[in-house]
Amino acid sequence: MSETRTRASWGAQSHRDEVGQLPSTFPRTMGPSAMAYLQEVVDSGLTVDMVGRFERAFAELHGVKHCIGTPGCTPALAALAAAFDFEPGDEIIVSPITDYGTLQGLVAQDYIPVFADTEPGTVNMSAETIEPLISDRTRAILCVHKTGIPCDMDPILQLAEEHDLFVYEDACQAVLGEYKGRLCGTLADAAGFSFDAEKTMGADMGGCILTDDDDLAERVRFIGQSRGAEMKPGFGRLHVELGYAYRMPQCTAATCLAQLEIIKEQVATIDRVVRLMTELIDEIPGITPLPIPDYCTVYSSWMFGLSIDPEQFTCTADEFGAQLAEEGIPGAGTARYYLMPEACTFLQRWAEEKTWPYSMPPASREYSYGEQTCPTAHDFLDTWIRWSTICEKYTEDDCYLAARIVRDVAERNRR
């Protein structure tokens, strides 16, 4: 008999029960051309190259040579991992506060995730937290720009150069965000994006890879789209590699293209409102909004986060979050599940049982995954509250309302 469990939900469904006084991402603002592009796909009998059109537009917007459309960021990062020529048991250093989609592909290729702790008070890892973890097995660093705040990339790139490591970005939460005036997703050797329904450029499901590397782009297309098959005259498809069907569907491309036409303006609005809200909430004693580093020149946020100082309040962070939600901030709450070394319980099981690739050899060290793996990130998430419905619908008045709600809840629970 199978055990009863509650399956995880996603997209609009996961926000279904949220109500509040503040705007919500859903129903999404759709680019005005969405229906026309979808119609084109249908009218053409699927012959239109909507995927190519989206890929060219996204690449051009970023000033990057190659954009490869995928069904999401999970498959985008999986296609990249499959295209690497690393060996099973090789290590990839990765941000600990993220989504499962960051990890799935590299784990599936039998690479070992090594989680670098976050910088205190932030959601991102840094060169300082990465450096001690570099070993003779390290091949790459995967940086997640969590909540849209870019990692401090220059020191990370410098460190990677010294150790000859590949650096790539999970730019899912930072579409059109900027680091020192450079667009997220163009800061390293390659990047993955998500256009899932909840993201800043929400287009149901969808994603892509950006890279300037011709060989990598060709390998990703060959393995991820052509399923590792080349055409042999007189025979047909010859599968010379283990390939995957990570193709972006035409209808997804149509929606993504339409969303792309409105995203710049939306991100500009989001950048303004999040900065204002950060300023207002920063004035409340005992509450610390996520700091926005000076190098973050455009903050493409989809999530607002704040930490509470437990010494100053009589309630727990969970109770504080629940009260924010009751008072009208849709979906406000803690998010401990973002801590991947703790959330991916199978990793600890594999490491403990020495399942391949944790068996010895090839891995040359002991691995362990849990809340103790990244104590700074764990402690941070314990008192961090977020809501992931920041969007272009926020007005200045909404920022003042959000700050007032936070202040009211803080005063009600102040010690």
Ligand X SMILES: Cc1ncc(COP(=O)(O)O)c(C=O)c1O
The least CB distance from residue 366 to ligand X, in Å, is 27
Residues 181-220 that bind ligand X (CB under 6 A): 194, 196, 207
Stretch that binds ligand X, among 41-49, 71-79, 263-271, 287-295 (CB under 6 A): 71-79
Contact pick of 24, 25, 33, 98 for ligand X (by CB under 6 A): 98
Binding test (CB under 6 A) with ligand X, winner from 20, 31, 69, 72: 72
Binding segment (CB under 6 A) for ligand X, from list 82-90, 170-178, 375-383, 400-408: 170-178
For residues 111 and 265, is the Cβ–Cβ distance under 8 A? no
Tell me the pairing of strands 190-194 and 207-211. antiparallel
Beta pairing class for 166-170 and 190-194: parallel
Alpha-carbon span 250 to 394, nearest angstrom: 31
Q: In angstroms, what CA-CA distances link 254 with 51, 56, 161, 224? A: 8, 13, 38, 20
Among 94-102, 106-114, 147-155, 399-407, the segment contacting ligand X (CB under 6 A):
94-102
Under the criterion CB under 6 A, does residue 170 sit at the interface with ligand X? yes
State the Cα–Cα distance between residues 136 and 167, nearest whole angstrom.
16
Residue 148 and residue 303 in contact, taking contact as beta carbons nearer than 8 Å: yes
**Is 114 near ligand X (CB under 6 A)?**
no
* Residues 356-395: x where in contact with ligand X by CB under 6 A, - otherwise, as a string: ----------------------------------------
State yes or no: residue 99 binds ligand X (CB under 6 A): yes
Among 33, 124, 138, 173, binds ligand X (CB under 6 A): 173
Size of site (CB under 6 A) for ligand X: 14
Residues 6+ apart with CB under 8 A from 247: 51, 69, 70, 71, 224, 225
Using alpha carbons, select from 103, 236, 124 the residue that is nearest to residue 174: 124
CB closer to ligand X out of 25 and 194: 194
**Listed residue (112, 337, 101) closest to 198, CA to CA:** 101
CB of 327 to ligand X, least distance (A): 26
Minimal distance, residue 153 CB to ligand X, in Å: 16
CB of 95 or CB of 323, closer to ligand X: 95
Q: Which is nearer to ligand X, 385 or 399 (CB)?
A: 385
The residue among 385, 386, 403, 383 whose CA lies nearest residue 394 is 403
Residues 144-163 within binding reach of ligand X (CB under 6 A):
144
Does residue 25 interact with ligand X by CB under 6 A?
no
CA distances from 362 to 112, 115, 136 (A): 11, 19, 12
Q: Is 92:111 a contact under the CB 8 Å cutoff?
A: yes
- In the complex, least distance from residue 76 CB atom to ligand X, rounded to whole angstroms: 7
Tell me the helix, strand and coil percentages in the chain, rounded to 5.
40, 15, 45
Rounded to whole angstroms, the Cα distance separating 91 from 114 reads 6
Minimum CB distance to ligand X smaller for 124 or for 373: 124
CB of 121 to ligand X, least distance (A): 20
Residue 340 touches ligand X, criterion: CB under 6 A: no
Q: Among 70-78, 120-128, 233-241, 398-406, which window interacts with ligand X (CB under 6 A)?
A: 70-78
Strands of 287-383, DSSP E: 287-289, 296-298, 304-308, 333-334
Please report how many Cα atoms fall inside a 13 Å half-sphere around the Cα of residue 93, on the Cβ side: 29
* Interface with ligand X, residue 102, by CB under 6 A: yes
Minimal distance in Å, beta carbon 269 to ligand X? Answer: 21
Binding stretches for ligand X (CB under 6 A): 72-74, 98-99, 101-102, 144, 170, 172-173, 194, 196, 207
